[in-house]
Structure 1
Amino acid sequence: MIPVQLILKNFLSYRDATLDFRGLHTACISGSNGAGKSSLLEAITWAIWGESRASVEDDVIHAGAKEVRVDFTFQINQQIYRVIRTRIRGATGVLEFQIETPAGFRPLTGKGVRATQDLILEHIKLDYDTFINSAYLRQGRADEFMLKRPTERKEILAELLKLTQYDDLEERAKESSRQYKARAEELERSLEAIKVQLQQREFTEAQRVELEAELNQLQQVQAFENIQLQSLQVVQHQRQNWEQQLSFVRQQYQNLTQDCDRLHQEQSSVKTQLAELAAILNQEAEIKNGYAHYQSLQSQEEAFAAKFEQHTRATTLRQQKQQQLTQQIHEIERQLQQVQAQLEALAQQEQEIQHTLSKSGEVEAALGQLNAARRRVVQLDELQMQVSPLLQQRQSLQTYLDRIQASLVARLEQIQATENQLQRASQRHPELQQAVMAVAMQIEQMEKERVYLQRVQEKGQERRHFIERLQGQQREYERLLGELDQKLQMLRNPDAICPLCERPLDEHHWNRVADKTKSEYKETEEQLWVFREQLACTDREIQALRQEYRAISQKLSPYDSLREQRGQLAAQLESTSDAEEQLQQLAQEREHLERSLQVGDYAHDKQQELRKLDEYLQQLNYNEQDHVLARSEVERWRWAEIKQGQIKDALKRQTQLAARKPELQATIAQLQTRIQQEQTDSECAQQITALERQITEIGYSAEQHNNLRQAVRQSQGWQLRYQQLLSAQQQYPQLQGRLQELEAAKTTRLNERQQLASQIDEIVQQLAQSANPIEQIQALEQQLAIRRRQLDEQIAKLGRLEQLALQLETLQVQYEEQQQQLQACKKQYRVYHELALAFGKNGIQALMIENVLPQLEAETNQLLARLSANQLHVQFVTQKAGRSGKSTKKNAKLIDTLDILIADAKGTRAYETYSGGEAFRINFAIRLAMAKLLAQRAGAALQLLIIDEGFGTQDAEGCDRLIAAINAIASDFACILTVTHMPHLKEAFQARIEVHKTQQGSQVRLSV
């Protein structure tokens, strides 16, 4: 990726900036600290990957701006691309990706930011982590790799190569293997339990056959007893039929008896009714005469009822008219009362007006006093207008002088407090020196202990690695021992064959093979004992190292607190070193302040101005109290104006009342005349007179009407008796016919009852002759119930056994399925266990590092040859031989490491022995080789190189070495950018990108 152009708008410290990289090969980005040098590089990473140092996305937006935009154009494989990333504060971002064509830039933007980001990564073939570890040489990255211990360099290399993903795969594989192992153990326990249950199958089958035989026998006995019960039930059914027939006949006999009794009672009732009707028919003439008199009285009462209705209507209407007339008169009387009240109110107002007019002389005198008081207030107001600004100015001057005096007093108090603190601190100076020395000695001793602790830890790690290798070799020899034991077992057979070629063996060859196998078995067993002894010794060494590590760690527990205490004591000691000098300065300043406060020697111009203002105010002779008294005098006589207004209103009202009084008196006379006319000549009065004449003409008497009503009520009994006479004339023939019908029916019921009595006697005789089998039936039913319960119990037992047999069959199928699952789990456990080993540190990761190191070594040597004129050569050593105490080949072991050996004209020696310029060139070559290697692994060519190795941390010679190294490898890159804040180094670069911080934000200027 070769940068072409960078356009910034509101990005971090930049408002608007444009940087054109065309024609730049080796350039320096210079500027002071905080000017915005790193922001240019972060703009590139933010545009392409959306990554920056900001913890919150909106933090990349310039302070006070609402939107940020970065436009970055770059070249890859002779093709120009353009990335535009924008973001609005508080909203989501927008990402655009374009490619240059002859017609201009054509969009490649995907559907959404994520899709567009994936498309950009597909074209540039670099993710953010790979970029900052390859194209961006940050300060300390080379030293981080080179200055680590050889045993830790592999970890850093694995991190740079992104081999940590295999740690995740290893953990996932371990987790899967643990899950499958647990599942296998669970299946084994389940299979064992199922196996125990399956052992019950034969016993369950025997029980089932025995129960089936017992069940068949019980069913045969129950069938014979059912036949006996059915025969007895037939006899019982016939007897029940006779009993039911006897009950039915008896019920009919009883019903006929009841009918005879009912007919007899009905005959008696009909005879009684005939006697009553005959008595009524004998009174026929008397009843008719009484009924005729009743009808005559009823006609007279109806006539009186009509007169009563007419009298009531007239009386009601007269009452309504009387109420209407009364209301009209009351309304006129109410109006009369209102007018009379108004007339009385006018008289009262006239009295009040006369009282007000009587005080006119007193009011005139008070008005004169009021005008004089107002003229005095106007004079004082004009004087106040002159005095008020002067008083405000005086207040401001006095406030300023008080503030100056307060600040001097506060400073004096502060100086006194500081003097007290410095005196106490100066007294503690020797004590602090002794405390600092004591803590420093303790820290020095603990640092020695820390070095020893680190050596103990390294020794423990070495012993653990040694145990792991011993355990691996022990497992290998145990496997070999098992194979040899299997061969010996095969050779013990009479017809044994060769374990290797599988051919028959004669006695001679059998002895040779057996002796050789036994010899190998013995040697392997001896070597296995050696490994076990070494494991035991190493384990004891590790236990001792652990105890020693814990003891030293316990001693070092106060190390951090002591360092913090030393820093605090050093700060206190430094603060007390200049206490005497500060005390002298503070004493002089205190004396000066005390003298100034005593004589008022401060703010002379303000004090002079205050004195002039006081003299002028005395000449004006303005007194606020006099002003207040004048205002109160005006308020005291203000009532005269109010009274004057009241007198004017009283005169006006007196004229109005004089015109209003005759009108009210005339209205009262008219209303009194109207009341008299309404009582005699109004329409309502005339209607009331006519209604009274109509009532007299009707001539209605309430007493006569009441007497007639009482006579009608007394004669109402003849109407009832007349109705009874008509009913008796109609019912008497009917009742005579009904009496004859009842007599005939009674005779028929008696004959039928006699026949039923004969049937009852015959049925009773048949029941007496037949036997009753009810007891035998009950006994058989009880016995059958017992048999049925036994059958139910046997059937239930048989069902349970069949269910158990079905469950055992299911368990058998489940047992076979779980056996298959167990085999699959064991297989998966072995697979994931091997995968965990493969993904571990000693698996694929170690293999990849072993494969990468030759390439890294070759690339480093190629660069180093150019940087050192073929004087230096690098070699990476990943393993070295070691011994565990005995100088035998069997005890030799290989130790994992990553040593860096450097060959020069004097020979080959370790990297740690180099320093100065040679060490710098080695570091630079290795870091640059790593960058190229990471870019190649990502599938991209390393065309851009950004170097931020920290010019500020280098001396002049170091800076010259770095510039020389950059020039040496410049031909390998299309663009090299270096970052520095040291101005004198700009001259070493032909092209310079200068960054300045202004009020309008950071500005960029390109100098070529």
Structure 2
Amino acid sequence: MRPLALYLRNFKSYGENAPILDFEQFDIALLSGENGNGKSSLADAIAWCVWGKCKGMDGRGGIDDLVRTGAEDMEVSFTFEEDGNVYKVIRKRDKRRGQSALDFMLKRGDAFVPISGNRIDETQLKIQEVIKLDYETYLCTGYLSQGKADLFAMKKPNERKEILAEILNLSVYDRLERKALDKRNELRLRLEWLEREMENLQRQLAEKGDVEKEMARVIKTLADVQDRERALREQLAEFTRRKQEKESIKERVENYQDALKRGNKEINSLIKEEADIRRRLEDYRKIIEREDEIENSYAELRELQKQEKALNDKFQRVAELMRKKERLEGEMRIREQNMIHRINVLEKEMEQQQEKMSKERELKQEWERCQKKLQELDMLEKDLTGMEERAGQLTQEAAGLIARRESLNQHLRELGERYKVLKEAQADCPVCGKPLDDQHKKQLMDEAVRQGEAVRQAIKETGEALNKLDKQKKEMEARQKEIRFRLKERGKLEGRAALLFRQIQEAQEAKQKHGELNEQLVPLRQLFNQKAFVEDLIKELEGLEGRILEIGYDAERHRIIQERIVKLNSVPNEWEALQKAKAGMVSGTESLVRFSKMIDEKRKYLEDVAGIICDLQEAIKDLPDILERISELEGIIQDVQREIRRKEAERGALGERMEKIREAETLLEKKRAELGELQKKLEIYNTLALIYGKRGIQAAIIENAIPELQDEANRILAKITDGRLAVEFLTQRDTKAGSVVETLDIKISDGMDTRKYETYSGGEEFRINFAIRIALAKILANRAGANMRMLILDEGFGVLDEQGRERLVEVINAIRDEFDKILVITHVQELKDSFPVQIEVVKTPAGSTFKIVG
């Protein structure tokens, strides 16, 4: 992976307008700046963009902690070249919505086309397929962070294998070993349970003989009981047949008895109806005796009904004319009410217009007061604009004072460091480099103290100036707050002024409208007083009253006739009863003769039925004995059936036991087969646990990696020492007792002698550590199939003296052909002149930024 360009926005300390880092402008560059300015954040941005991980996300930190304080989202874009193709990765995070986005693009021609997956995890896999590195491998190959260069070599020999295993990412085999051991333990538990199950099954099989004997005995007893049941059922069938015959005869007796009862009821009913006919004939006779009286009253009623009909016709005609009269009178009332309403409406409108006219002067005075207040607010708004401009000037002045105070504090710290150096027992002159005598040393220390006091005084004055600016700003903000509060009244005042202006116009319009309304009211009052608006209705009413008199309807005569008709109300019913009595006398006499004959015939039939009943009752005298015997047989059969059910239940239970025994035989065979399979699997996982363990494949990988590591380290070491030093890794050594122990010793050869690594220090130790670390990175990249062409060194070079810094530059120049891009991160200013290109990182109020120098 060869980097081409990096763009970041709101990532960690960087703000919205950070520049693009163009990697094509350098091969080796020094990334410098004060601690906390954001140097390492550029390397973190590459890691987060490509893998979604970086420093600052470990432990309790999350992805949202990477977003710059005060910002809502962040974005990082990284362009790189791999296998001749140019790719771009863009990763974004919206903290407010809790949403992330990842885009992966390939350059075709002059444009980038998307090759992302459907989801973020799919896109991440595509990126790693291209670069062939995961995040952990990248940290060990392309990014050497602070304190990691000598991590491997500085460990004790017995700890180096553990470090090497960690660097080679052999922890995956530890996890596989743990899984194999967990599976083995799981299989052991299953095996123990299976053996217990097989013991239980074998105990069940031991009962098979006893169950078979008991089954034979139960089957024989069941057959005997079933034979007895069949014999009893045959007896019961014979008695049941006889019972059915007797019950059939009994049913005939009951039918004849029911017929006898029905016959007696019919005779009684006929006798009752005969008596009813006699009573009706007597009633008919009494009505016929009043025939003359009824006929005369009926004739009078018919005449009165004719007279009432004529009077009803006159009444309907008069009633129709009265209804018309009432409608006309109602319409007269409506017209009068409408006229009164119109007059009242006009009078009320005139009163409203008069009220508006009376308020005109007061409204004008209030409108003038509103206008005066609005002019005052215009003046305050102009004052506010001037204050805002002054507030901006104060902010700029404060920013300059803060920057000056930071610069003075930095100068003060440098003086403190210089004083500490001078205070040491053997200090060198910072100008000529020669050792200082006591007098010269005291002069320099006194000068440092004097300059320190001057700087402190300047810091104090700067702080006082800042406090003064802050006080002015707060006073101005309070006045601005007060003015803004006053300005909130503008909308209310403008609305009130507009309303008053409209009301003044309405008062002026009311004068004209008042006169117009008075012109409409005068003629309406004249019409109302003269009744001219109902003149047509008065004439029509006079005509209706004349027509009512012409009809001549006599209401008193009508009332007398209606009362007489009410008194004769029962006559029509009496006349109808008379007609019915004349016809009923003939038919009733005939019915009386017919009913007497029917009663005699029914009595003779019932005497014959009583004789038949006596004969049949003699034939069913033995029915109770038959029923008693049937009941006895049914009880015995029920006892036998209960015995059969008990035996069948015993047979069923024994059958279930035999079935379980057969199932146990089948299950035992399966368990035996499963036991064999489990034993085979247990052996397999025991073997896998050994293979994945420390003494298995891990040891083999380390043994195979050490020669490769040694060759690669010596190749790099030859470059940076001109072939003077060579490294050798020993994995075993003899003890004083004559045994061999596992170790990982480092032997260094300088062409004349071979010594342990621990005996080296200074420049040789630094070069050895660096060569081993670069060799480890190369091996890891090769094993991953990746072509890591970028190296970032973030190693805390502040502890190096001048010779150490020179060695660092020599080593980096020696390996520059191993990588396309090398980026060295440090805050040590003395290293800047040693690199042709520097990337200077500074922090501003708008966020961190950088520029490329050289």
TM above 0.5: yes
* Equivalence for 1:916: 762
- Residues in 2 aligned to 1:967 and 1:904: alpha-carbon distance in whole angstroms: 22
CA contact (8 A) 2:67 2:73 kept: no
Which residue does 1:794 correspond to in 2?
Answer: 647
Q: Give deviations 1:844-870, integer Å, cap 9, x for gaps.
A: 112211221122223334444554555
Shift of 1:720: 2.7
2:840 corresponds to which letter in structure 1?
V
CA shift for structure 1 position 39: 5.3
| Alignment correspondent of 1:19 | 22
What do residues 898-955 of structure 1 show as CA deviations (whole Å, max 9, x unaligned)?
2223345675443222222332232222222222222222224565444444443211
- CA distance in 1: counterparts of 2:623 and 2:74, whole angstroms: 119
In structure 1, C-alpha distance between the alignment counterparts of 2:49 and 2:311, rounded to whole Å: 121
SS of structure 2 residue aligned to 1:141: coil
Q: Does 1:849 align with 2:702?
A: yes
Answer yes or no: is the 8 Å Cα contact 2:709–2:776 preserved in 1.
yes
**Shift in Å, 1:983:** 4.8
CA distances 1:312-366 after superposition (whole Å, capped 9, x unpaired): 556666677677778989999x89x99xx99xx9xxx9xxxxxxxxxxxxxxxxx
Report what 1:700 is aligned to: 554
Q: Does 1:201 align with 2:208?
A: yes
Deviations along 1:654-707, whole A, 9 cap, x unmatched?
xx9xxx9xx99x9999977x479999995267447636744xx726151x4444
Structure 1 equivalent of residue 106 of structure 2? 97
The alpha-carbon distance between structure 1 residues 20 and 109, as it changes in their structure 2 partners (threshold 3 A), is: same
Seen in structure 2, the aligned counterparts of structure 1 residues 736 and 60 have a Cα distance that, compared at 3 Å, is closer
Instruction: Give, in whole Å, the separation in 2 of the partners of 1:951 and 1:770.
Output: 127
1:223-267 Cα offsets, whole Å, 9 max, x none, are: 111111111222222222222111111222222222222222222
CA distance in 2, matches of 1:62, 1:323: 87
Helix, strand or coil at the partner of 1:140: coil
Query: Could you list the per-position Cα deviations for residues 850-900 of structure 1 after superposition, in whole angstroms to 9, with x for gaps in the alignment?
Result: 2211222233344445545555443323334558xxx6xxxx755433222
* Aligned mate of 1:933, from 779, 787, 792: 779
Q: 1:327 to 1:824 in 2, by over 3 A?
A: closer
**Aligned residue runs from structure 1 range 649-660, under 5 A:** none
Q: Secondary structure at the match of 2:152?
A: helix
Paired letter, 2:169? K
- The runs of 5 or more residues in structure 1 that have no matched partner are 350-380, 393-577, 590-648
Q: Show CA shifts across 1:366-424 (max 9, x none).
A: xxxxxxxxxxxxxxx9xxx9xx99xx9xxxxxxxxxxxxxxxxxxxxxxxxxxxxxxxx
Q: Cα deviations across residues 150-175 of structure 1 (Å, max 9, x unaligned)?
A: 22211111111010111111222222
Q: Distance in 1 between matches of 2:537 and 2:718?
A: 150
Percent identity of equivalent pairs: 26
Residues 171 and 255 of structure 1: CA distance in aligned 2, closer, same or farther (over 3 Å): same
Distance 2:528 2:787 in 1: 125
- The amino acid that maps onto 2:18 is R
Q: Which residue of structure 1 aligns with residue 481 of structure 2?
A: none
Give the structure 2 partner of residue 447 of structure 1.
Answer: none
Report SS of the residue matched to 2:34: coil
Q: Post-superposition shift, 1:1006?
A: 5.8
Partner of 2:745: 899
Aligned to 2:160: 153
AA in 1 matched with 2:236: L
Q: Tell me the amino acid that sits aligned with residue 236 of structure 1.
A: K
For the residues of structure 1 that align with 2:560 and 2:829, how far apart are their CA atoms? 146
Name the stretch that deviates more: 306-315 or 285-294: 306-315
Residue 292 (structure 1) aligns with = 299
CA distance in 2 between counterparts of 1:679 and 1:857 reads 135
**Alignment partners' CA distance in 2, 1:328 and 1:278:** 72
On the 8 A contact 2:321/2:544 being kept in 1, the answer is no
Cross-structure match for 1:833: 686
In the alignment, structure 1 residue 173 sits paired with structure 2 residue 180: yes
CA distance in 2, matches of 1:43, 1:328: 94
After TM superposition, the structure 1 stretch with the greater mean CA deviation from structure 2, 931-940 or 774-783, is: 931-940
Query: In 2 relative to 1, CA 254–693 (structure 1 residues): closer, same or farther, beyond 3 Å?
Result: closer
- Whole-Å separation in 2 of the counterparts to 1:683 and 1:265: 78
| 1:257 lines up with 2:264 in the alignment | yes
* Distance across 1 between alignment mates of 2:635 and 2:215: 28
Deviation track 1:171-219 (CA, whole Å, cap 9, x = no partner) reads: 2222222222222222223333333333333332222222111111111
Superposed CA RMSD: 4.8
- Aligned positions of 1:305-324 closer than 5 A: 305-309=312-316
Contact 2:205–2:661 under 8 Å retained in 1: yes
CA distance in structure 2 between the aligned counterparts of 1:15 and 1:908, rounded to whole angstroms: 52
Q: Partner residue of 2:246?
A: 239
In 2, Cα distance between equivalents of 1:871 and 1:906: 10
Q: Which amino acid aligns with 1:683?
A: K
> Which residue type is aligned with residue 246 of structure 2?
R
Distance between the aligned counterparts of 1:311 and 1:881, measured in 2? 150
- Deviations for 1:801-821, whole angstroms, at most 9, x for unmatched residues? 222322332233233223322
SS in 1 for 2:620: helix
2:531 is equivalent to residue 683 of structure 1:
no
Encode CA deviations 1:778-801: one digit per residue, 9 max, x unaligned: 111111111111112222222222
1:751 aligns with 2:578: no
SS of corresponding position for 1:33:
coil
- What is the one-letter code of the residue matched to 1:698? G
* 1:957 positional shift: 1.9
Does the aligned pair in 2 maintain the 1:139–1:950 contact within 8 Å? yes
The 1:818–1:688 alpha-carbon spacing in structure 2 relative to 1, beyond 3 Å, is same
Partner of 2:466: none
For 1:621, the equivalent position in structure 2 comes to none
Name the CA shift for 1:869/1:771 in 2 (closer, same or farther; >3 Å). closer
Q: Which residue of 1 aligns with 2:87?
A: 83
| Distance in 2 of aligned mates of 1:996 and 1:729 | 140
- 1:50–1:669 Cα change, 3 Å: closer
Instruction: Decide which moves more: 251-260 or 769-778.
Output: 769-778
One-letter code aligned to 2:104? L
Matching of residue 33 in structure 1 with residue 34 in structure 2: yes
Q: 1:795 to 1:680 in 2, by over 3 A?
A: closer
CA contact (8 A) 1:98 1:105 kept: yes
Cα displacement (A) at 1:998: 8.3
| C-alpha distance in structure 2 between counterparts of 1:947 and 1:706, whole Å | 132
Equivalent pair of 1:97/1:116 in contact (CA under 8 Å) = no
Distance 1:218 1:61, change over 3 A: same
Contact 1:281/1:725, CA 8 A, preserved across alignment: yes
CA deviation map 1:58-106 (0-9, x unaligned): 9578998988564534364xxx33122335663623221237xxx7788
Residues 822-846 of structure 1, C-alpha deviation per residue, up to 9 Å, x if partnerless? Answer: 3323332332232122212222112
Give, in whole Å, the separation in 1 of the partners of 2:692 and 2:547: 130
Paired position in structure 1 for 2:439:
none
The CA distance in 2 between the partners of 1:953 and 1:915, in whole Å, is 15
Task: Determine whether 1:222 maps to 2:229.
Answer: yes
> Quick one: distance in 2 between partners of 1:309 and 1:867?
140
CA distance in 1, matches of 2:670, 2:609: 85
SS, match of residue 602 in structure 2: helix
Q: CA deviation at 1:744?
A: 3.0
Partner of 1:272: 279
Give the aligned residue type for 2:661: L
Partners of 1:973 and 1:316 lie apart in 2 by 120
Amino acid at match of 2:115: T
Matches within 5 A, 1:310-389: none
Number of equivalences: 683
Mean CA deviation greater in 898-907 or 741-750: 898-907
SS at match of 2:33: coil
In the alignment, what sits opposite 2:194? 187
2:115 counterpart of 1:109: yes
Distance 1:123 1:688 in 2: 114
Within 5 Å, which residues of 2 pair with 1:429-440? none
Matched residue type, 2:552: I
Correspondences of 1:487-506 after superposition (within 5 Å):
none
